[in-house]
Amino acid sequence: MAYPAEVPALSDRYLGRPKMDVARCGADCQACIDVCPTDAIVRETRQEGTMGAGKVDERTSKALRIDLGRCLFCQECVKACPEGAIEFTGNHRLAARTRSDLVVEGEAKRLFAALDERMLRVFRRSLKLRQVSAGGCNACEADVNVLNTIGFDWGRFGIQCVASPRHADGLLVTGPVTENMRAALLKTYEAVASPKLVIAVGACAISGGPFSGLGAQNDGLGTLLPVDLYIPGCPPHPLTILEGLLGLLGRIEHDAPP
């Protein structure tokens, strides 16, 4: 494919970046929040006021937010919303550099910065990754593997998965980091020479996904490792993964509205 010069047509069934019409959302409605299996949707109550003549005119606003790091893109919120205020668009651009940037409200613009100049000089032309499946179901792993095929061919951008962390520039992690994989993940990270990158792919690696809160896993990378790139989804589309990596490397313009 000619990506990124041309974006290929995605299936009508593809569920991309969610969009919320806050004007249509009922202020006291909890339908979408109640059905979300991972508590990805929250309503934040904020006090807004203006000062005048020594008085405060207080108004309460209830902002609906979706945490893409927790979202499974299951559409249960869309089905439950009586006002049709939530929809999943065909926008494949979901990656973010910080965890907080995965929490979206309405149609707020997403800001995404590439690596700094020093890191770009090291990684921009050649990025070798050791993929670690830290207890994943193999869905994210399969979509990462698709990037090696002739259609996507991430090798043309200098990106490649390698067999040993000694040969890697960083880790690409999938899965919720089960207790049985915790030590292996940390040892693999230690084996990568500095400077190094960590990329969290999928809801499980970011937040634990549907397994969040279970004692047998660590709710994803969390505080275990410093994360340089978050790629949400369950699983994320191969195009979403590729776009995030190219944005990280400064190979494409990544600041865009949702």
What is the distance, to the nearest Å, from the Cα of residue 189 to the centroid of all Cα atoms in its chain?
Answer: 21
**Ordered domains of the chain (ranges, CATH):** 18-92 (3.30.70.20), 117-248 (3.40.50.12280)
Q: What is the pLDDT of residue 149?
A: 95
What's the token pair of residue 174?
Answer: 């999938």
Q: What is the DSSP letter of 109?
A: P
pLDDT tens, position by position, 136-168: 999 999 999 999 999 999 999 999 999 999 999
**Beta-bridge partner residues of 52:** 55
Q: What is the pLDDT of residue 17?
A: 92
pLDDT tens, position by position, 209-229: 999 999 999 999 988 999 999
Q: What is the pLDDT of residue 25?
A: 82
Q: Which residue has the tokens 């993964």?
A: 241
- Nearest to residue 250, comparing CAs of 122, 128, 115, 121? 115
pLDDT tens, position by position, 26-38: 777 889 999 999 9
Q: What is the pLDDT of residue 106?
A: 73
Q: What is the pLDDT of residue 56?
A: 45
12 pLDDT more than 60: yes
Query: What secondary structure, in 3-state letters, does 148-212 show?
Result: CCCCCCHHHHCEEECCCHHHCCEEEEECCCEHHHHHHHHHHHHHCCCCCEEEEECHHHHHCHHHC
Average pLDDT over residues 97-107: 87
Task: Write down the mean pLDDT value for the chain.
Answer: 89
Banded pLDDT at 241 (limits 50, 70, 90): very high
pLDDT tens, position by position, 44-98: 765 555 555 555 444 555 678 899 999 999 999 999 999 999 999 999 999 999 9
Q: What is the pLDDT of residue 29?
A: 86
Q: What is the pLDDT of residue 257?
A: 40
